[in-house]
Structure 1
Amino acid sequence: MFTPVKIVRFWLPALIFLIGAVMLVVSPDIVGLEGAALMLGGGLGVVVSNRIHQMGLKGEKDRDDEMGARQFMERYGVWPDEASEEVLDRAERAGDIEPRTPPAEEVQPPRVDPHNRPPRSSSRPDGRTRSPERRTGPRPGRRVPRR
């Protein structure tokens, strides 16, 4: 929980923000406002610099992956993502790539027939459903317009 990376990335900015909020509460005048703004700006600076550092580390990992792909291309004459199973097996036996794991079989749930539904239960005491049954012909009490 308290590794050096987590302390610098999360706890240090949180502590700086907290100090800024305390300064504003303790001294609500202009001096407290300036101190709070200064501390909040400092905490934001730590957050931004941590983010830039993380982006740099991600770029370094991408460069390492690209270098590994280029070495694979030089050795086998094909890019790793375009290689056949035979070439990948050779590279795996030679130790040029990490052992591949076979893809896990996807288990699909059984299909449910949408037309095979259980009958709806009625919440009315007399057992009738909420929607009236279809009637043929005019409804009682309504006149049928003549054409």
Structure 2
Amino acid sequence: MVKVRRGYARNYLLPRGKAHEVTPASLRQLENLKTKRAEREARELNEAEELARRINKLRVIFKLETGETGKAFGSITAQDIVTRLKNEIGDEIDRHKIHLEHPIKTTGEHEVAIKLHHDVTVNFKFEVKSAHEEPAKAVEPAESAEPAPKRGLFRRRK
């Protein structure tokens, strides 16, 4: 509650709906709104904590296309993480809540912070593997003692 000049309230605040007169009914309504807001915030906090527990238990493996040298042909973005979490958990998370500085282009273990609520932040751990895992190399037979004949790559023109 704020006290303002009568003219300012009558000519500007009240006609535009930016203020209301203080009456016993408006005070009851304000208290009602405060209790509803507190209940809603407590419910949202509990839901966020439950979702954080489920995300902590989850172990996900992403497959990433890579070349022979290990260079990635794609990346894991925040949208990919959101889609995977929705498939695994069933709850949708806004992609803007995932703190990912750059798309992930490397294989291995990764950790991303997800801010579910202003008081609840969870670190989502996942692994990125190559879609083309190299099979275990078999022992190659020893080459013959004779080296292969050299090819003439550079020939002299006549």
TM-score, structure 1 as length reference: 0.30
Pick the structure with more helix per residue. 1
Pick the structure with more strand per residue. 2
TM-score, structure 2 as length reference: 0.28
Bigger radius of gyration: 1
Structure with more relative contact order (C-alpha pairs < 8 Å, separation 6 or more): 2
